[in-house]
Amino acid sequence: MSPRLYNLTVHSLIYTIILINYNCQSTSYDLNDSFALAGNNRIMLEKVLNHYKGETKKYKAACFLLSNMRWHYTTVQVSSMDTAIITYHQKYDSLYYTIIKDYKDEQLEDSTIRYQLQELSYKAFKQNEGIIIKAPKLSSSFVWDVEHLSADFIIQHIDNAFEVWQKGPLCRHLSFNEFCECILPYRSIQTISFFENGRFLNKLMFKHLEKTNHKKLSGYLKHYHHYVSSMQSFFSFPPLNSHIGFYDLFVGQDVDCINTANNACNILRACGIPLMVNFNTAYKELKGRHYFCSFLDNNKKWRHFNPQTNCLDTIEPLQGESLNIIRNTYAAQSDSPYFTKSSNELVPTDFDSPCIKDVTSSYYETVKIELPFEEESDNNLAYLYAFNNNPSGILPGCWGKIDHERNKIEYINAMYNTLYFPAFFRGNEIVYFSSPFYIQKDSLRAGRYKIIPFPPISSSQSTGDIIVSRKYPRKRKMIDIAKKMIGGKFYGANRDDFSDSVLLYTISHAPQPYLQDFKISESRSFKYFKYASPVTNRRSNISWLEFLIDSTFHYPYTEPASPLPIMNDADTLCPYKQQLQVIEKNIYDFKSQRMFDQNMQTASSQPDIYLHLESPVRVKTIRMAPLNAENSIIPGNRYKLLYWDNRWIEIDTITAKYNYLKFKNIPLNKIYWLKNLAQGIEELPFIYRNGKQLFIYHDIITNNQQ
């Protein structure tokens, strides 16, 4: 290259860089960090910007996309996958489209369509026999998005985003800033691997979604769910060992809520539906968390839903009371803990991201509170932790900013009626700097709140004995189910059509969540027995059912009766009366029924239950239990009791002999946590008062008792 030509090239490159930086700075986007991270791929980013010179909005959108690209990365990518997946999808995508293309939304569940799809699914199953899909090849390395995205990938994606923004009935109302967050991004969650741009996804899915005749969210979601569930029935292959983007919907690794929400958000955005993915930091009473989608409607209101469900856009996606809700954003959020922390401050993993925003106030009523902070610390942040049944028994719910001048912490997104454990980090160690508490509205002062210490202060003795019967409170749903059993009736008969039936017992009180006896006064013997659920609630909801006779009565098909629960010391003194339960001759079919399988967590949903015997017997007792979660004490299981004193401290571990546990000479007036080491995941802290367990969110906080 001649010196003159070289100088012209250098000057041209310098001019291009200056022009790029000037134009993006004029729109408040800084590309310097993205260019620095891009390395050799910088030329691709510059190519994108050069492509949109003269197109003001697209250029500005490209600046937004590229400047925030520096925050996004992946640790696993698929370098190649079996092309048979693509071929197979194309074939059945076409066949599906041929079947449903002329039907309206209301007809998608018609028997004609169901039959055609079932027939196609069966043919696909037969054709798949013996076919093996090769596992994809994975590349496991940390890669910034700016290092590997091509200009063509980005340009196609931006062009598609603008096309759907201009044409789509669900996103025309978006401002430019809303468009940039809800339609434009090529990924939905910061670190989740992505594989396809919007153009690719639109080409695959829009032809199906646009068939909705209602042109509103429910119509698009109905077609999305119908398509995905139908295609899943055609892909009768074992799941692969990794995620593969769009094709995860049909044959990828077993998909959880995070990948379901991520895929749906990417696909539906590409088709003109403004979405973002949210997650809850935890549930108040349940283990785990949940990812779901939120839709920004033309009234600027967020509507929330779970993808791939029939609930569409009219449901609450969180199946239980939640802690704080976090939104995954594409753009960095200046008020996130990632930016507000001090230089050497540790931040909990879930909060250590530049691309998150606390949006709890759009779901629940939140409150801004201040707590005193007298600790020696250079940190900028502190947290409100909450109970969660994980190995540490606690996790962060929300963050607050430390005001060192005032010795205060301000929490903007605290929640009412939530048990909090205030904490901050000292180096790598978490420090709990104040007693647990919960927040209530102050009924005497409008707009004010009061902080209530938990457990309530008591002057009783410091050590003593406690007796516990549960690790988790009885669920409100289970209580309601038991109440609906009032009016259920048991009958005996000697004709199998029950034309000569005799009423044996009527349930007059809501059954308790364990085995209990109903005494039968009728002295006659019967060959057939029946339970009829109440006419107001035609579900039997019986988990455990036994018809008992005296052990002296001869009948060829019996088993020992299950013992009644022993709930306290006094019960151990009661003499045990030996009885037998009568069973049907075909024991396999008998035991396969949920009310006779001796599994407390399964229950019959049929309106009526029948027992057919070989000959008449006199039943003296009906022993039963309603549907329940079996969170009471189970004999033979091992239990660990802990209490809170700025951390969870183990008291003792014992094996249950009866349906209760006695812990002797332990610290009193504490928050306790009882763990079942053998089974189950539902556990909740409680206090012990006047000989009773009082659980948070059921007996104390929810009822506002002190």
Asked if 624 contacts 546 with a C-beta cutoff of 8 angstroms, the reply is: yes
CA dihedral 199, 205, 206, 210 (to 10 degrees): -170
Band (664; pLDDT cuts 50, 70, 90): very high
Ranges of beta strands (E only) in 196-321 are: 275-280, 291-296, 302-305
Out of 41-50, 109-118, 451-460, pick the least confident.
Answer: 451-460
Nearest to 194 by CA among 253, 255, 243: 243
**Alpha-carbon distance 388 to 683, whole Å?**
9
Asked if 207 contacts 201 with a C-beta cutoff of 8 angstroms, the reply is: no
Strand order in the sheet with 558-560: 516-519, 621-626, 542-550, 579-582, 558-560
396 pLDDT more than 80: yes
3-class state of residue 569 by DSSP: helix
pLDDT digits (tens, 9 = 90+) for 531-578: 999 999 999 999 999 999 999 898 999 999 999 999 988 887 777 778
CA distances to 186, 293, 327, 354, 358 from 350, rounded to whole Å, are 22, 18, 12, 11, 12
Please spell the DSSP secondary structure of 227-242, one letter per residue: HHHHHHHH--SPP-SS
Q: Which amino acid appears at position 629 of this protein?
A: A
Band (195; pLDDT cuts 50, 70, 90): confident
Asked if 622 contacts 515 with a C-beta cutoff of 8 angstroms, the reply is: no
Q: How many C-beta atoms surround the C-beta of residue 111 within 10 A?
A: 7
Asked if 371 contacts 331 with a C-beta cutoff of 8 angstroms, the reply is: no
Phi, psi (5° rounding) for residue 60? -65, -40
12 pLDDT more than 70: no
Nearest to 349 by CA among 309, 390, 308, 320: 390
393 pLDDT more than 80: yes
**Alpha-carbon distance 249 to 231, whole Å?**
8
Give the rounded percent of residues in the chain with a pLDDT score beyond 70: 93
**Residue recorded with tokens 């209101």:** 301
Nearest to 116 by CA among 133, 95, 140: 95
Band (14; pLDDT cuts 50, 70, 90): very low
Most confident stretch, 255-259, 285-289, 432-436: 432-436
The reported pLDDT for the residue numbered 444 is 73
pLDDT digits (tens, 9 = 90+) for 506-535: 999 999 999 999 999 999 999 999 999 999
Provide mean pLDDT across the span 49-73.
96
Q: What is the mean pLDDT of the chain?
A: 90
Give CA 686 to chain center in angstroms: 24
pLDDT digits (tens, 9 = 90+) for 413-472: 999 999 999 999 999 999 999 999 999 998 777 778 999 998 876 656 689 999 999 999
**Alpha-carbon distance 545 to 561, whole Å?**
10
CA dihedral 572, 573, 579, 584 (to 10 degrees): -10
501 pLDDT more than 50: yes
Provide mean pLDDT across the span 103-110.
90
The reported pLDDT for the residue numbered 512 is 96
The reported pLDDT for the residue numbered 3 is 42
Q: How many C-beta atoms surround the C-beta of residue 651 within 10 A?
A: 18
Burial zone of 309 (CB within 10 Å; 0-12 exposed, 13-18 middle, 19+ buried) = middle
Band (314; pLDDT cuts 50, 70, 90): low
Asked if 415 contacts 323 with a C-beta cutoff of 8 angstroms, the reply is: yes
Burial zone of 499 (CB within 10 Å; 0-12 exposed, 13-18 middle, 19+ buried) = exposed
**Alpha-carbon distance 138 to 629, whole Å?**
41
- The single-letter DSSP state of residue 497 is T
Band (137; pLDDT cuts 50, 70, 90): confident
pTM score, whole prediction: 0.88
- Note if the bond before 239 is cis, omega within 30 degrees: no
**Alpha-carbon distance 529 to 582, whole Å?**
11
Residues facing 653 on adjacent strands: 640
In degrees, rounded to 5, the angle at the alpha carbon of residue 491 between the alpha carbons of residues 535 and 553 is 155
Q: Who contacts 96 (Cβ-Cβ below 8 Å, separation ≥6)?
A: 117, 120, 208, 227, 230, 231, 234
Provide mean pLDDT across the span 258-284.
95
- The single-letter DSSP state of residue 395 is E
462-466 long-range contacts (CB < 8 A, ≥24 apart) are 462/667, 462/668, 462/669, 463/665, 463/666, 463/667, 463/668, 464/665, 464/666, 464/668, 465/662, 465/663, 465/664, 465/665, 465/666, 466/662, 466/663, 466/666, 466/668, 466/672, 466/688
**Alpha-carbon distance 452 to 474, whole Å?**
25
Residues facing 695 on adjacent strands: 686
Ranges of beta strands (E only) in 39-135 are: 73-80
The reported pLDDT for the residue numbered 670 is 94
